[in-house]
């Protein structure tokens, strides 16, 4: 039996997305224009906390080109409700309303107070500058621990507290384990605030067709489907059917475009009020203030262990900074890490609690990894602390605590059912890849010589949960939506394929990956497959892209829809070949009669028959078209071992990443090049998080790191030699065996880097290291260990 084509799953098919991206022909939201469109500009609060005493937009109306201007109160009647949070994690969660523009009080620097519409971008900018807003400053709340004390100044006076919620999880008899364990290690870590800095700032174009009452929003978003339902139902109060949301090419998101934004809300309302399209493009200066921030946790983690270092219990207390308001999934972000403070390690008891706290800062929400990088940071640093306490090597302590190796599901202390995993396998491979023995030898030599530049080796043997998510689990966590996704496959009469998918890529390469799956399923060349996404009118069903879900949920839906195509095609082929369906053998796009392989029908042939419909079997409808909606039964659990080698200048404190090895197990790999790109990008982002990215406010709540000059995202020169390899343990959650790879790099890498810095200085007595490990912080840690004042 001849195969119709070589399998393409698992091969490095060139990304279909790239030609338009690298030739500059891709169209982003900012490339779009509509006849008669107006430019929108928001006036942002310079104060972190203040009462708005007046907003006078009349000077703006004098600026040539300005068409309209509104303060928050002018538009207060437009909103069906505040911008909602979709994840009220507890019944008693405090969720103060945030509207697209503030009316009485501003609670973070960058909160909008007025909006200007003009004929040009320049006129809108000038108009916004002309608006006179007056404020009466209020006390500013910045420190999370201070904010939770009695008598603290309040971000929201009417709540009577700065605490939004406390969420807890307990498995096993935690108190008993901690009372009896001979070793308890207690650590405190601060995971600093990050500014997700997608290359393309947020941007949008809003259009309104008055005769039909129809709105179209083209927006740089990760979540067109969620934006549609939330904006229509909760913010604008219009029928969902009247709002079409499109995500064109989107230049990166990393979670920062999981948002139902003030700008989207305002633009739609103002398009209706003015009868003209409204365009807005954020600039970097406003983006750093108004696009959500991330991370920002204070962590206390305790490990209870036997004397030999075998872990028996975990206890974690978090304070998580929500910023001034709860955004779409902000309160739930720490919960995405709640089950992972035990890493891939065993134990019998587990406790987690998290308090979300309000401060006068930009609200926080999801950022690549969302909760899981924070959890991984805590456990991977704490297990090193345990290793130091019991006098074990960091490799040894990990090996002795790994969960049982298994091809099938295994329960974890955090209460998860891990789909599969061979943790020693990734660790062994990473040790070899990084050249561990050679690095340790070099470390010894430098220590003996007393060199100014010392070497350190850091580990992170992480596990994560992604593929968000089983809808029933989301329900139990009080998330307001499901976690399924959908695909519709249409085989066109000519044998070409269009796949409509509900996930919404912004750089990942879904079109290529899904084409590879479909090519193998249907025997159609990759180039003959088009993937349509990011448009609620064309692909009406979907839950969008975040949480490494696109392949492990959306891709499975694609595969299942393809199965249904084959199922229907088999009926037609059997009819035409005048055999029973059971007599047909199907291999990649070709049905052949068992024992008579020359009698065959291909999928394109069947598609044509299904279209002409001249001779279809009884009860079979025309067209070769099928849909599937897939709701996963479980998460998927990528894992791996990352090892980082750094050189630390003990005199200046400068850290250089010498070498980095990432060995991940992300299950079945569809496109190795795309997977490696995800790993490398994530690792670089995580190294930056460990070494230099930090959002800093001054005591007035002014964001000091308000440009890319002093908020330091990684540059090309910061990218070290990254050695990437894999093991493949298929997931048991889905039939493709895929696990998701979008976030592994940022989840794994920060503790590997910081553990390496600590390791480089351990002979000097350094055990603590704040992050980001800037030269000054490293130098201070050395001084402190020496017992001198820095």
Q: Which two tokens stand for residue 481?
A: 């939506």
Find the helix or strand (DSSP H, E) in which 293 lies.
none
- C-alpha span between 744 and 296 (Å, rounded): 19
Q: Which of 87, 367, 462, 779 binds another protein (CB under 8 A)?
A: 779
Least Å distance between CB 557 and another protein?
A: 41
Q: Which two tokens stand for residue 700?
A: 């007035």
Residue closer to another protein by CB (options 650, 744) is 650
- C-alpha span between 509 and 248 (Å, rounded): 14
Least Å distance between CB 768 and another protein?
A: 17
According to the binding rule CB under 8 A, does residue 721 interact with another protein? no
Q: Which of 77, 709, 787, 788 binds another protein (CB under 8 A)?
A: 709
Q: Which of 718, 730, 735, 762 binds another protein (CB under 8 A)?
A: 718
Cβ-in-10-Å burial (0-12, 13-18, 19+) of 721 comes to exposed
Q: Which stretch binds another protein (CB under 8 A): 12-20, 337-345, 385-393, 648-656?
A: 648-656
Nearest to 543 by CA among 194, 220, 222: 222
Q: Which of 25, 58, 612, 710 binds another protein (CB under 8 A)?
A: 710
Least Å distance between CB 760 and another protein?
A: 17
According to the binding rule CB under 8 A, does residue 723 interact with another protein? no
- C-alpha span between 410 and 418 (Å, rounded): 5
Instruction: Count each helix (H run) and each strand (E run) in the chain, helices first.
Output: 20, 28
Judge contact between 407 and 420, C-beta under 8 A: yes
Q: Which of 617, 707, 721, 765 binds another protein (CB under 8 A)?
A: 707
Judge contact between 135 and 102, C-beta under 8 A: no
Question: Rounded to the nearest 5 degrees, what angle is found at the Cα of 9, between the Cα atoms of 5 and 10?
Answer: 125
Q: Which residues contact 78 (CB under 8 A, 6 or more apart)?
A: 236, 269
Q: Which residues contact 199 (CB under 8 A, 6 or more apart)?
A: 251, 252
Least Å distance between CB 358 and another protein?
A: 24
**Residues present in the chain in total:** 790
According to the binding rule CB under 8 A, does residue 784 interact with another protein? no
Q: Which of 656, 764, 784, 785 binds another protein (CB under 8 A)?
A: 656
Least Å distance between CB 788 and another protein?
A: 11
Restricted to residues 45-64, the positions that interact with another protein (CB under 8 A) are none
Q: Which stretch binds another protein (CB under 8 A): 178-186, 572-580, 702-710, 728-736?
A: 702-710
Q: Which two tokens stand for residue 219?
A: 């927006």
Residue closer to another protein by CB (options 3, 652) is 652
Q: Which of 714, 735, 762, 763 binds another protein (CB under 8 A)?
A: 714
Least Å distance between CB 648 and another protein?
A: 13
Least Å distance between CB 608 and another protein?
A: 53
What would the x/- binding string for another protein be over residues 456 to 495, using CB under 8 A? ----------------------------------------
Judge contact between 165 and 94, C-beta under 8 A: yes
According to the binding rule CB under 8 A, does residue 445 interact with another protein? no
Q: How many CB atoms lie within 10 A of CB 244?
A: 18
Distance of CA 570 to the CA centre of its chain: 40
Question: Rounded to the nearest 5 degrees, what angle is found at the Cα of 638, between the Cα atoms of 636 and 642?
Answer: 165
Q: Which of 308, 475, 776, 786 binds another protein (CB under 8 A)?
A: 776
Residue closer to another protein by CB (options 99, 692) is 692
Partnered with residue 24 across adjacent β-strands are: none
Judged by the rule CB under 8 A, the positions of this chain that interact with another protein are 283, 285, 452, 651-654, 656, 691-692, 696, 704-705, 707, 709-710, 712, 714-715, 717-718, 772, 774-776, 779-780, 790
């Amino acid at each position: 039996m001849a195969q119709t084509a070589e399998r393409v799953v698992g091969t490095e098919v060139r990304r279909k997305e790239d030609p338009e991206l690298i030739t500059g022909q891709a169209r982003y939201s900012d490339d779009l224009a509509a006849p008669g469109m107006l430019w929108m500009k928001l006036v942002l609060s310079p104060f972190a906390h203040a009462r708005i005493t007046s907003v006078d937009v009349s000077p703006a109306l004098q600026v040539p080109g300005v068409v309209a201007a509104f303060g928050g109160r002018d538009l207060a009647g437009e909103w069906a409700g505040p911008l909602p949070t979709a994840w009220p994690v507890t019944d008693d969660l405090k969720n103060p309303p945030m509207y697209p523009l503030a009316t009485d009080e501003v609670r973070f620097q960058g909160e909008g107070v007025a909006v200007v519409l003009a004929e040009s971008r320049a006129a809108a900018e000038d108009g916004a500058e002309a608006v006179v807003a007056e404020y009466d400053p209020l006390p500013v709340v910045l420190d999370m621990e201070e904010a939770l004390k009695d008598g603290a100044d309040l971000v929201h006076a009417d709540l009577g507290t700065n605490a939004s919620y406390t969420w807890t999880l307990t498995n096993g008899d935690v108190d008993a384990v901690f009372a009896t364990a001979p070793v308890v290690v207690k650590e405190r870590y601060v995971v600093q605030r990050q500014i997700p800095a997608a290359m393309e700032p947020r941007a949008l174009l809003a259009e309104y067709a008055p005769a039909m009452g129809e709105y179209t929003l083209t927006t740089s978003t990760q979540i067109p489907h969620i934006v549609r339902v939330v904006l229509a139902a909760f913010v604008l109060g219009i029928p969902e059917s009247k709002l079409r949301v499109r995500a064109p090419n989107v230049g990166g998101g990393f979670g920062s475009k999981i948002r139902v934004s003030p700008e989207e809300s305002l633009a739609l309302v103002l398009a209706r009020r003015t009868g003209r399209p409204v365009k807005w493009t954020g600039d970097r200066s406003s983006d750093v203030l108004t696009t959500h921030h991330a991370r920002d946790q204070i962590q206390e983690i305790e490990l209870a262990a036997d004397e030999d270092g075998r872990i028996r219990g975990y206890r974690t207390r978090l304070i998580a900074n929500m910023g001034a308001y709860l955004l779409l999934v902000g309160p739930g972000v720490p919960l995405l890490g709640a089950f992972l403070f035990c890493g891939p390690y065993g134990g019998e008891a587990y406790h987690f609690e998290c308090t979300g706290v309000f401060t006068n800062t930009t609200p926080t929400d999801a950022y690549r990894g969302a909760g899981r990088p924070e959890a991984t940071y805590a456990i991977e640093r704490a297990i090193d602390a345990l290793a130091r306490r019991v006098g074990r090597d960091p490799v040894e302590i990990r090996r002795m605590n790994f969960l049982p190796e298994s091809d099938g599901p295994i329960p974890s202390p955090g209460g998860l059912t891990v789909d599969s995993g061979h943790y020693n396998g990734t660790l062994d491979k990473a040790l070899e890849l990084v050249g561990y023995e050679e690095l340790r030898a070099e470390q010894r030599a430098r220590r003996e010589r007393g060199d100014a530049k010392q070497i350190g080796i850091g580990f992170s043997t992480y596990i994560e949960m992604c593929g968000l998510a089983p809808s029933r689990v989301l329900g139990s966590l009080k998330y307001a939506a499901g976690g399924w996704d959908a695909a519709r496959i249409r085989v066109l009469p000519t044998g070409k394929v269009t796949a409509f998918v509900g996930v919404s890529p912004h750089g990942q390469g879904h079109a290529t990956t899904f084409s590879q799956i479909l090519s193998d399923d249907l025997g159609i060349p990759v180039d003959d497959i088009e993937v349509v996404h990011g448009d609620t009118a064309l692909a009406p069903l979907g839950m969008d892209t975040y949480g490494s879900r696109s392949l492990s949920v959306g891709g499975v839906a694609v595969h299942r829809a393809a199965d249904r195509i084959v199922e229907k095609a088999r009926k037609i082929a059997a009819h035409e070949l005048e055999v029973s369906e059971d007599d047909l053998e199907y291999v990649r796009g070709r049905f052949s009669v068992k024992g008579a392989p020359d009698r065959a029908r291909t999928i394109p042939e069947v598609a044509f028959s299904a279209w002409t419909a001249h001779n279809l079997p009884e009860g079979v409808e025309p067209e070769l078209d099928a849909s599937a909606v897939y709701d996963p039964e479980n998460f998927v659990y990528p894992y791996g071992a990352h090892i980082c080698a750094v050189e630390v200048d003990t005199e200046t404190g400068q850290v250089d990443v010498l070498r980095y090895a990432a060995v991940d197990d992300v299950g079945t790999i569809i496109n190795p090049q795309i997977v490696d790109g995800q790993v490398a990008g994530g690792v670089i982002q995580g190294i930056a998080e460990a070494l230099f990215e930090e959002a800093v406010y001054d005591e007035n709540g002014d964001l000091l790191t308000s440009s890319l000059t002093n908020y330091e995202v990684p540059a090309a020169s910061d990218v070290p030699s990254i050695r990437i390899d894999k093991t493949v343990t298929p997931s048991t959650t889905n039939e493709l065996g895929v696990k998701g790879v979008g976030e592994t790099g940022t989840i794994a890498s920060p503790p590997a880097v910081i553990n390496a810095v600590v390791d480089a200085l351990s002979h000097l007595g350094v055990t603590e290291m704040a992050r980001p490990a800037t030269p000054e912080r490293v130098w201070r840690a050395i001084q402190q260990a020496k017992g001198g004042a820095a």
